[in-house]
A and B are shown apart, each in its own frame.
Chain A
Amino acid sequence: MSKALKQIHLAAHFPGVNNTTVWSDPQAGSHIEFSSFAQFAAIAEQAKFDFLFLAEGLRLREQGGKIYDLDVVGRPDTFTVLAALAAVTERLGLAGTINSTFNEPYEVARQFASLDHLSGGRAAWNVVTSWDAFTGENFRRGGFLPEDQRYARAEQFLAAAWELFDSWGGSARHDIVADKEKGVFLATPHAGAFAHTDDQFDIAGQFNVPRSPQGRPVIFQAGDSDAGREFAARAADAIFSHHGTLDAGRDFYADVKGRLARYGRGRDELLILPAATFVLGDTDADARERAEQVRRQQVSGQTAIKFLEHVWNTDLSGYDPDGPLPETDPEPGENTIAKGRASVRMHRDPLATARQWRELAAADNLSIRDLVIKVTGRQTFIGAPATIAEAINDLVQADASDGFILVPHVTPGGLAEFAGTVVPLLQERGVFRADYEGTTLREHLGLPSRRGEGQLAGAVS
C-alpha cells in the first residue's frame, strides 16, 4: 500500500523591506496603507492558505552611515496590522515576528492572547531574538545581548510567556463563570496567577487576559543553528526555514524531526515551512524569461554595488556596476558598513568570498551586477503553473518540507497569479484543502490543541 499523500501547507509572506520586493513594478502598491494588507490577506484567504505572515524590523537599515534608500523602507506595527486584519478575514491565520529582546513577556503574552481572542484563535508568533546595540538605540531598555545569550533569552522569554498563557484555566477548568444570579464572575480569586524566575526574568503576579481560543498562539522559530534547531524541537510548532531545495530540505527535515522524540513529541507536532519565492509564466520558457527580468529589477546597478559593499566592508560607490569586480581585498575586521541587516553576518570569511566571486566573474566574464545577480538567490520556483505545482508537491511528499511560506515580489497583488493557477492544481491533486475545515490556525496546521490543561508536554521549562 502506498503511503498516503501528505497535505501541503501554504502561507503568504507580505513582501518585505529588502530587494526581493520590486517596488518599481508598475503594479506595486503601498506597503503601509491598510488596504494593501487587506487585499493581500483576501487573496491568501480566498486561496485557503494556512496563514499570512508579517516580518518585523525595529530600526531602519543603514549603509555607510546613511539610511538605506534603495529598497522598500518602513513598515507598520505587526500586532496592530494583524488585529485589524482579523476584522476583514475569517479563517486565515495571522502570524507575526515579535522580538524577545525589545519586549517583556507580560506585554507580549497579553498582546498575543488578545490577538487570539480577537481573531477567534488564529494568532501565531515567530519568536526571534536580536542582539545588536544598533537596534537597541530605539529602546529605553537598550538592546545589547551577548550572542551566547540569544537562545537563552528566547527560551526563557517563551517559557515565561507560556506560563502566562497557561495561567488561566481552559476547557478543563473554566475560570470565568459569569453567573449573574449568584454574582460569581471568577471561579477563583487566583485566576492568572504566575511566578517565573530565571536568568533573564523575575516576574510574578496575575495575568489579565483569560485563556484564548488556541490556548497559546502557534509558535514559530526561524534560527538555523544547532541551538536553534534544538530549541525548535523542544518548543516550537513550526520552523520558518531557509532550506527550500530537495537535498538541503531533506537533510534539515530529517535532522529536526529526528530531534522531536527526545521531547516526547510526535513528528507531526513540528512543521517545517521554508520561505520560497516564485515566478510564473504561461510556459516554463516564458517563466524563465520573466524570472531573469525580475532578477534584474531586484538587483539594480546601485543595489549590486551596495551588496558588494557588505562583503568588501568599504565604500565602493566609485565602481561601475557594469564593470569588473574590485581588485582590492575586503577590509578586514568587524563589518561596519551595513547596519540592521542580518545577511551581512553570513559572510564569515570575506576574503574567501571575494576570491571565489572574482573567480566566478572571471570564468564567465561577469560584471559586478551580473555577479551579484548570479550569487544572490534566484527564485525558488520558476515555471508554468503545472511545473510549480509538481515541484511543490514533490518536495513535500519527499519530506523536504511540510509546505512553503511564499514571498511574492510585488505588493499587494503578487500572490494572485499563484492563487489563481497553482492552488487549483494542488487542490485537484488532493494535496491542498479545497476549503477550510477548522476555524483556528492550530486546526489548519493539524497541531494539537492547547486549549485545555495538562498540555505542558514540550514546554521549555
Chain B
Amino acid sequence: MPPSSVPMHLAVALDGAGWHPAAWREPDARPTALFTATYWVDLVREAERGLLDFVTIEDSLSLQSSRRDGPDERTDQVRGRLDAVLIAARVAPLTRNIGLVPTVVVTHTEPFHVSKAIATLDYASTGRAGVRVRVSARPDEAAHFGRRPPPEARGDDRPAGQQLIAALLDEAADYVEVVRRLWDSWEDDAEIRDVATGRFIDRGKLHYIDFTGRYFSVKGPSITPRPPQGQPIVSALAHGGSAYRLIARCADAGYVTPRDAADVRAIVAEIGSALDAVGRAHAHPHLFGDVAVFLDEAPAAAVGRKARMDDRVGAEYRGDAAVFAGTPSQLADLLQEWHEAGLSGFRLRPGAIPHDLAAITRGLVPELQRRGVFRRGYEAATLRGLLGLGRPASRYAPPAARKDVPA
C-alpha cells in the first residue's frame, strides 16, 4: 500500500516513570528524580529531539491508585506527582518547538484560573500550549476539596454511575466553553498604548463573557490578554459515548482507545455522528489513538522486558488502551494501518522511561520518516501550526475585523 498522503501526528503521554507500574524499578529508571525539574526537562527535550507534535503530562488531585474509589495503600508503585501545568511551564523556556499539553482536572478547579494559566503557558512557550481536560468522579478527590458531596459509591449501581459521569462531562463542556470565551475576551489588538489619548487599552475590544450555565456562571473578561495561538489546543481522553460527545462539543483533539483497525473505524464513525448531533460536523477534531508501547530492536526483547515487569507486579499489564510489545518497525506497521483507518495520529504511552521514550524518538520516528509519513523537521512554530490548524479570530471581534489566519 502506498504511504498515506496525510502526515501522521505523534505525541507521547508522560506519566511518572512510565505507564507500567513496575517501570520505576527498571535499571535505567530515575525514581528519585521524579520530583525534580531536570527529569521533566530531559523527557520533553527527548520528545522534541524526535520531532513529536506534543507531550501530554498526566495529573490528578489524589495519589495514584489502582482503585477507582480511593487510595489503594500500595507502597510498591510510584505515588505522588507535581502539578502538570507547572511542569509544562518549567519546561517551556527550555524547549523550542514541541507542544506542551498538561492535564487539568476540571471537576474541582476554577475555569477562570485555568484559562489564564494555559494562556500564560502559551505566552511562556510562544504558542505551544494546550490542555487536556479530565473529570473526576473519585470520592477521595471530592473529599480533598470538601466543596461538593462525594459521589455515591458506584459499586453495582451502574446506571447511577453513568449518570454521574454524564453530568460531570456536561459540566466539563461548560467549563471548556468558559475557558475558550475567556481566551477570546480580549481582541488581539485590544492593547493600544495610545499616548495621545492616555489609553492603554481600547476597552471596546475587551468583552464580558457573561457565561451562565447549569453549574456555574463567570463574568469575565480574562485578566490575561488573548494568548499567542488565540485558542490553545483543548483535548480529552474518551473511552465511549458520553466522553465522545465531550470531544464533539468542544475539543480540538481527542484521545481514543481502539483495539484494532475495525475498532478505529467504528470510533471515528461514532464521533462523526456525535459531531453531527451537536452541529459541529465541520469541526474535524484530531483523533489520536492511545497505545502503551514496549519497544526493542528484537521482538522477543520487548516481550521479555514487559514480562519481567509484569512478574514484578504479579499481573499482566493491561491499561485502558491497547498494549503493544515489539519492534519499532512492527509498531510502525500497526500505526500506519490505524492511521489509514481514520486516526490523525497517536499518543504513545511509553511503558518504561527512559527506554521506551528513546525507542519512540530514536527507533519509531526514523522508521516512520523512512516510510514518508512523519515530518523530518518542525514545520511550524506553534502547536496549532503543527496540527495543521489556523489561528482563529476572536469570537468577539466585529465581523468585518474577524480574520481567521489559515494554517
Whether B123 and A33, one on each chain, are in contact in the complex, defined by CB atoms closer than 8 angstroms, is yes
Stretch in B213-221, B274-282, B322-330 touching the partner: B213-221
Contact of B32 among A69, A111, A178, A208 (CB under 8 A): A178
Whether B140 and A185, one on each chain, are in contact in the complex, defined by CB atoms closer than 8 angstroms, is no
* Bound complex: CA A34 to CA B144 (Å): 33
Whether A140 and B216, one on each chain, are in contact in the complex, defined by CB atoms closer than 8 angstroms, is yes
Of residues 128 through 177 on chain A, the ones whose CB sits less than 8 Å from some CB of chain B are 137-141, 168, 176
Q: Is the interface of A mostly helix, strand, loop or mixed?
A: loop
Residue B109 interfacial (CB < 8 Å): yes
- Give the number of residue pairs across the A-B interface with Cβ within 8 Å: 234
Residue B318 interfacial (CB < 8 Å): no
* Bound complex: CA A360 to CA B320 (Å): 74
Whether A137 and B219, one on each chain, are in contact in the complex, defined by CB atoms closer than 8 angstroms, is yes
* Bound complex: CA A300 to CA B86 (Å): 39
Q: How many residues from B make CB contacts under 8 Å with A?
A: 81
Whether A180 and B120, one on each chain, are in contact in the complex, defined by CB atoms closer than 8 angstroms, is no
* Bound complex: CA A18 to CA B219 (Å): 22
Residue A318 interfacial (CB < 8 Å): no
A71-90 vs B, Cβ < 8 Å mask (1 yes, 0 no): 11111110111011011100
* Cβ–Cβ < 8 Å partners of B94 in chain A: 87
Contact of B223 among A58, A66, A117 (CB under 8 A): A58
What residue in chain B is nearest A34 (Cβ atoms)? B124
Residue B5 interfacial (CB < 8 Å): no
* Bound complex: CA A113 to CA B80 (Å): 12
A250 CB, min distance to chain B CBs, angstroms = 37
B118-135 vs A, Cβ < 8 Å mask (1 yes, 0 no): 011101101000000000
Whether A110 and B223, one on each chain, are in contact in the complex, defined by CB atoms closer than 8 angstroms, is no
Residue B262 interfacial (CB < 8 Å): no
Whether A117 contacts B145 in the complex (CB less than 8 A), given A87-B94, A111-B86, A139-B112, comes out as: no
Residue A377 interfacial (CB < 8 Å): no
* Cβ–Cβ < 8 Å partners of B62 in chain A: 205-206, 208
* Bound complex: CA A211 to CA B225 (Å): 35
* Bound complex: CA A98 to CA B318 (Å): 41
Stretch in A100-108, A263-271, A382-390, A450-458 touching the partner: A100-108
Residue B89 interfacial (CB < 8 Å): yes
Whether B63 and A74, one on each chain, are in contact in the complex, defined by CB atoms closer than 8 angstroms, is no
* Cβ–Cβ < 8 Å partners of A187 in chain B: 75
Residue B160 interfacial (CB < 8 Å): no
Residue B371 interfacial (CB < 8 Å): no
Residue A186 interfacial (CB < 8 Å): yes
* Cβ–Cβ < 8 Å partners of B140 in chain A: 205-206
A268 CB, min distance to chain B CBs, angstroms = 30
A379-409 vs B, Cβ < 8 Å mask (1 yes, 0 no): 0000000000000000000000000000000
Interface centre among A59, A69, A137 (most CB of B within 10 A): A69
Residue B136 interfacial (CB < 8 Å): no
Whether A77 and B77, one on each chain, are in contact in the complex, defined by CB atoms closer than 8 angstroms, is no
Residue B312 interfacial (CB < 8 Å): yes
* Bound complex: CA A84 to CA B102 (Å): 14
Whether A208 contacts B60 in the complex (CB less than 8 A), given A24-B193, A203-B146, comes out as: yes
Residue B78 interfacial (CB < 8 Å): yes
Whether A58 and B75, one on each chain, are in contact in the complex, defined by CB atoms closer than 8 angstroms, is no
Whether B199 and A75, one on each chain, are in contact in the complex, defined by CB atoms closer than 8 angstroms, is no
Whether A111 and B83, one on each chain, are in contact in the complex, defined by CB atoms closer than 8 angstroms, is yes
Of residues 87 through 125 on chain B, the ones whose CB sits less than 8 Å from some CB of chain A are 87, 89-94, 108-113, 116-117, 119-121, 123-124
Whether A83 and B193, one on each chain, are in contact in the complex, defined by CB atoms closer than 8 angstroms, is no
Residue B201 interfacial (CB < 8 Å): yes
* Bound complex: CA A77 to CA B225 (Å): 11
What residue in chain A is nearest B143 (Cβ atoms)? A205
Whether A83 contacts B145 in the complex (CB less than 8 A), given A189-B75, A208-B61, comes out as: no
Whether A180 and B87, one on each chain, are in contact in the complex, defined by CB atoms closer than 8 angstroms, is no
Interface centre among B112, B141, B200, B225 (most CB of A within 10 A): B200
* Bound complex: CA A144 to CA B222 (Å): 20
* Bound complex: CA A138 to CA B78 (Å): 37
Contact of B219 among A57, A138, A205 (CB under 8 A): A138
* Cβ–Cβ < 8 Å partners of B124 in chain A: 34, 80-81, 84
* Bound complex: CA A32 to CA B201 (Å): 14
* Cβ–Cβ < 8 Å partners of A201 in chain B: 146
* Bound complex: CA A207 to CA B109 (Å): 16
Whether B191 and A76, one on each chain, are in contact in the complex, defined by CB atoms closer than 8 angstroms, is no
Whether B224 and A75, one on each chain, are in contact in the complex, defined by CB atoms closer than 8 angstroms, is yes
* Bound complex: CA A205 to CA B60 (Å): 14
A107-126 vs B, Cβ < 8 Å mask (1 yes, 0 no): 10011011101111000000
Stretch in B23-31, B234-242, B339-347, B350-358 touching the partner: B23-31
A36 CB, min distance to chain B CBs, angstroms = 10
* Cβ–Cβ < 8 Å partners of A80 in chain B: 85-86, 89, 116-117, 120-121, 124
Contact of B144 among A189, A203, A302 (CB under 8 A): A203
Whether B80 and A209, one on each chain, are in contact in the complex, defined by CB atoms closer than 8 angstroms, is yes
A334 CB, min distance to chain B CBs, angstroms = 20
Interface centre among B109, B113, B202, B225 (most CB of A within 10 A): B113
Interface centre among A183, A185, A201 (most CB of B within 10 A): A185
What residue in chain B is nearest A75 (Cβ atoms)? B223
* Cβ–Cβ < 8 Å partners of B54 in chain A: none
Whether A180 and B25, one on each chain, are in contact in the complex, defined by CB atoms closer than 8 angstroms, is yes
Whether B90 and A118, one on each chain, are in contact in the complex, defined by CB atoms closer than 8 angstroms, is yes
Of residues 184 through 198 on chain B, the ones whose CB sits less than 8 Å from some CB of chain A are 186, 191, 193, 195, 198
* Bound complex: CA A114 to CA B40 (Å): 13
Whether A38 contacts B144 in the complex (CB less than 8 A), given A23-B193, A67-B206, A208-B62, comes out as: no
List 20 A-B pairs, Cβ < 8 Å: A38-B93, A70-B198, A74-B186, A83-B85, A88-B93, A103-B113, A107-B109, A117-B36, A119-B37, A137-B218, A139-B110, A139-B112, A178-B24, A180-B27, A183-B76, A185-B31, A191-B79, A206-B62, A208-B61, A208-B64
Enumerate the 4 nearest inter-chain pairs by beta-carbon distance, A residue then B residue, closest first. A140-B216, A189-B73, A83-B89, A137-B219
